Amino acid sequence: MFYLSALLFGLAAGATNQGILSLFQQKFTGDGTYYGHTDTGMCQYNPPSLPPAALSPKIKYTVALNKPQFQDSFGCGMCFKVHGSGKGSGNSPITGDFFVFANNLCPECHAGSLDFAVSGDGRWNIEIQAVQCPVGNTKIEYKFQGTNPYYIKLQVRNARIPVTEAEMMQGGHYVSMKHTADGFWELSNGHQVDQTGGVPVKLTAANGDTVTDIIPNLNNNVVLHGKNQVQFKLDPSLPTA
């Protein structure tokens, strides 16, 4: 049973990686629409704790990503290059090239489409492609929700490339965590996580890059910075902001 579970987990992770990487490797056309100014969303990057990448001067807007490419919230925290032709209908045309940060889900949007978190009017032709987020010198961050030593719900924030596998130290070895629909990682198997000197985690990005870090404690609802101060390497094979 263990080997079957591991095989199924590996197949699911592989499909997720391919789905994420396809957003970097291709350009997609769709509609750009508006849903009004707000910094909150499905991904729960609630102010004042937006990740540094979202606050980069390179990022023009936060957006809601269409449901097919949101990929059950693996799209949370991704960055995209948008090209707007100005063609469409309404009073607020989307024009030019700029970068956006995905912090929400647009349930009714089709693949290639974004809903912009600003006031505007109309439906406009856009082209989108995922890019490595403009994290600069900032590091991966963490935030717990409803967590105790026997139940972990962890948000991994500000990753240059989306995290598609998260593991946490338990009983002296890393245990895989389950990704949740709201973009967190969950561990709930009835065993206590290791906390001596902090909570060790291993994170793997969609391109296979892996980092290990130590989260200092299990404090809930605050942004935490890892002791190892890690970030995924810039991947020369993927576009970047």
Q: Kindly report, residue by residue over 118-172, the tens digit of the pLDDT.
A: 999 999 999 999 999 999 999 999 999 999 999 999 999 999 999 999 999 999 9
Same domain, 55 and 169: no
Name the pTM for this structure. 0.92
Inform me whether the pLDDT recorded for 9 exceeds 50: no
Residue 69 structure tokens = 């490419």
Helices and strands (H, E) in the chain, number of each type: 2, 15
| pLDDT tens-digit readout, 62-88 | 999 999 999 999 999 999 999 999 999
- pLDDT at residue 235 in the model: 98
CATH code of residue 35: 2.40.40.10
Same domain, 157 and 53: no
In the sheet that holds 163-170, the strands lie side by side as: 173-176, 163-170, 199-205, 210-215
Same domain, 19 and 110: yes
Same domain, 61 and 157: no
Same domain, 107 and 18: yes
Determine, yes or no, domain membership for 230: no
Contact 70, 115 (CB under 8 A): no
Could you give the CA distance from residue 44 to residue 159 in angstroms, rounded to a whole number?
Answer: 15
Determine, yes or no, domain membership for 231: no
- pLDDT at residue 13 in the model: 61
- pLDDT at residue 38 in the model: 82
- pLDDT at residue 16 in the model: 84
Contact 92, 120 (CB under 8 A): yes
Same domain, 167 and 81: no
Local structure of 95: helix, strand or coil: strand
Same domain, 36 and 108: yes
| 108-113 mean pLDDT | 97
Domain hosting 192: range is 141-225
Inform me whether the pLDDT recorded for 49 exceeds 90: no
Contact 94, 34 (CB under 8 A): no
Strand partners, 144: 154, 220
Instruction: Give the chain's largest Cα–Cα span.
Output: 59
| pLDDT tens-digit readout, 179-216 | 999 999 999 999 999 899 999 999 999 999 999 999 99
Inform me whether the pLDDT recorded for 8 exceeds 90: no
Determine, yes or no, domain membership for 234: no
Determine, yes or no, domain membership for 232: no
Same domain, 127 and 9: yes
Same domain, 166 and 122: no
Contact 78, 57 (CB under 8 A): no
Best CA proximity match to 22, nearest among 128, 110, 102:
128
Same domain, 103 and 160: no
| 219-230 mean pLDDT | 97
Determine, yes or no, domain membership for 240: no
CATH code of residue 178: 2.60.40.760
- pLDDT at residue 15 in the model: 76
Determine, yes or no, domain membership for 60: yes
Determine, yes or no, domain membership for 238: no
Inform me whether the pLDDT recorded for 48 exceeds 80: no
- pLDDT at residue 47 in the model: 67
| pLDDT tens-digit readout, 28-42 | 999 999 999 887 789
Determine, yes or no, domain membership for 217: yes
Q: What does the angle CA 240 – CA 144 – CA 193 come to, to the nearest 5 degrees?
A: 110
Q: How many domains does the chain have?
A: 2
Q: What residue type is assigned to position 200 of the chain?
A: P
Domain boundary among 131, 149, 169: 131
Strands (E), 12-122: 28-34, 59-66, 79-89, 95-106, 114-116
* Pairing of the two strands 59-66 and 95-106: parallel
Cis-peptide, bond into residue 48, ω within 30° of zero: yes
Local structure of 155: helix, strand or coil: strand
Same domain, 117 and 152: no
Inform me whether the pLDDT recorded for 7 exceeds 60: no
Same domain, 8 and 90: yes
